[in-house]
A and B are shown apart, each in its own frame.
Chain A
Amino acid sequence: MPPAKNFMDIQKIRKDFPILQIKINGKKLVYLDNAATSQKPKIVIDGIKDYYEHYNANVHRSVHKLGEQATAAYETAHKKVADFINADFEEVIFTKSTTESLNLLAYSLGNEIKENDEIVITQMEHHSNFVPWQQLAIRKKARLRVIEIDQNGLLNENSIIRNITKKAKIVAMSHISNVLGTLNDVEKIGRTVKEKSNAYFIVDAAQSVPHMKADVKKLNCDFMAFSGHKLLGPTGIGVLYGKNEILEKMEPFLYGGEMIKEVTFKNSKWNSLPWKFEAGTPNIAQGIGLGIAIDYLNHIGMENITHHGNELVKYAMKRLSEIKEIEIYGPDAEKRSGLVSFNVKGVHAHDTAQILDSEGIAVRAGHHCAMPLHSVLGIAASARASFYLYNCKEEIDKLASGVEKVIKVFK
């Protein structure tokens, strides 16, 4: 099938992001750290300001006008997120981050884990989808099984089959690796999980939801977690999707506030979904901001964003692999999304990032919260360039020139 025509006017899109106008070290900002956090369009920034200036109030509590307006906006944001991932309203819980969403699961589902049960993750997980399960396994004397990657940075097929057994109670994996960029075939693995076990299948979609249509029904997952700030929304807002019938049975993670239905001196009852899992005053402005970010993404079109992202990755892989001093981690462009991690041979990633910064180019350097993966790769750190809808090929050319400068400095 020929690729969809790219209808995105990048220069027009760039004007929507105030920060892209600033200069770093006298040079135009080239922001290539989108896997850490994306920049925010003016419409999102203004939307948050509008809430605080015109209808700031707590949600679900106050009968006054402002309270009603805030509640309506906050609930509408849930609805927008639900539609965005093809879930029902009751299935979308707002948290503060992907990390909190995953910890919520490790805590609430953790109640069901017994000695010798198995929890399955992969070598390419971010610490946020690694440590909660590792610690749960330690706490419950369960077994943590880790699916291996192959030399190309793809999940090893045999390892998937071998590690998912009928003893598995939880299988958790990233949709896209935040280091390798690998796009995992979650749909297929989800089927394997259901065929071979009764395990809950959890997808860490922090890196995928910004870049592609993530339909929870298609992905065969029971839970999916992602963050608002990586898809043009503010920080402090994350999402946990869960299947209605499972969420109904699950114990709450935090108590108090909106998650309460009734409290007596003897016991308490929980509110209906999704509020059962949203204790305390939520991040109202951030939730509303996320809703506006999703409107913006829908306006541009997720298919266009996916196509543009793939084009950028392909071009970045081509430009960077032309430089012989560079080592790139992860699979070919066709099997990855959104980012390229690399090292300049003989140069520490921090030195690379610092020299790029002197050219106004922002990349991330370090272990990207994936220490176990870096140990598998046999490196201490890597530099990572990650792209989003406002990036263009000229910026990748600048990245390539920046890397040439790194090589020159260290020659």
Chain B
Amino acid sequence: MSQESLDSDYAGDGIYRENIIDHYKHPHNHGLIEHAHIKRTENNPFCGDAVTFTINIEKDKIKEVKFMGNGCAISQAAASILTDEIKNKNLAEVKNISMEDIVNMLGIEIGPVRTKCAVLGMVAIKEGIKEFEGKERNKHDKK
């Protein structure tokens, strides 16, 4: 890296592209589903970012999803984009979503400091599914 120009590869206007700001200001699938199969909150106390996902499942597929939250543009836009992305997908597919997938969905480069923001929604969804599957297994075992 040259002394004269220490460019950080993730900063710049790029990170706040129109689609990110748009999702942040007008989040898709915003709200909470009552009595949902899955309800999971994740937060990042370091930044104060928080998201709550509610999801209904039908035949191992995401039937319906809504989220609410507050925090930085990256965390909220990523959550909003994810709701579109996971609808009607198999649980197995959703569980395989990776950090790289999130970056692709956002269409921007994410620096190490902001990674936690970007993946917050993904963590909520995956943990929620894990909880749901655990409960289902318990039900099954009891039968």
- Report A's interface with B, CB cutoff 8 A: 21-26, 347-351, 354-355, 357-358, 366-367, 371, 374, 379-381, 409-410
Contacts and interface: CB of A to CB of B under 8 A. Distances in A.
B10 to A, nearest CB: 9
A21 B46 CA distance: 32
B47 A380 contact: yes
Contacts of A366: 46-47
Contacts of B12: 25, 358
A410 B7 contact: no
25 contacts: A21-B3, A22-B5, A22-B6, A24-B6, A24-B8, A25-B8, A26-B5, A26-B7, A347-B73, A348-B47, A348-B48, A348-B71, A350-B47, A350-B74, A351-B16, A351-B73, A351-B74, A354-B11, A354-B15, A355-B16, A379-B48, A380-B49, A380-B71, A409-B13, A410-B25
A326 to B, nearest CB: 17
Interface string B60-77: 000000000011111000
By CB atoms of chain A within 10 A, which of B6, B24, B70 has the most? B6
B21 interface: yes
A380 to B, nearest CB: 2
A236 B5 CA distance: 28
B117 interface: yes
A348 B11 contact: no
Contact of A380 (B8, B48, B117): B48
B93 interface: no
Given A24-B8, A351-B72, A354-B11, 5 more contacts: A22-B5, A24-B6, A26-B5, A358-B12, A367-B48
Contacts of B117: 350
B20 to A, nearest CB: 10
Contact of A410 (B21, B45, B47, B74): B21
A381 B117 CA distance: 14
B46 A25 contact: no
Contacts, number: 67
B11 A25 contact: yes
B114 interface: yes
A34 to B, nearest CB: 18
B13 A24 contact: no
B4 interface: yes
Contacts of B45: 371
A366 B13 CA distance: 21
A361 to B, nearest CB: 11
Contacts of B5: 22-24, 26
B11 A409 contact: no
Contact of B11 (A349, A358, A379): A358
A381 B48 contact: yes
Contacts of B74: 350-351
Contacts of A350: 47, 72, 74, 114, 117
B17 to A, nearest CB: 10
Contacts of A22: 3-6
B2 to A, nearest CB: 9
Nearest to A380: B48
Given A350-B72, A410-B21, A357 B7 contact: no
A136 B46 CA distance: 24
Nearest to B7: A25
A403 to B, nearest CB: 14
A349 B47 CA distance: 9
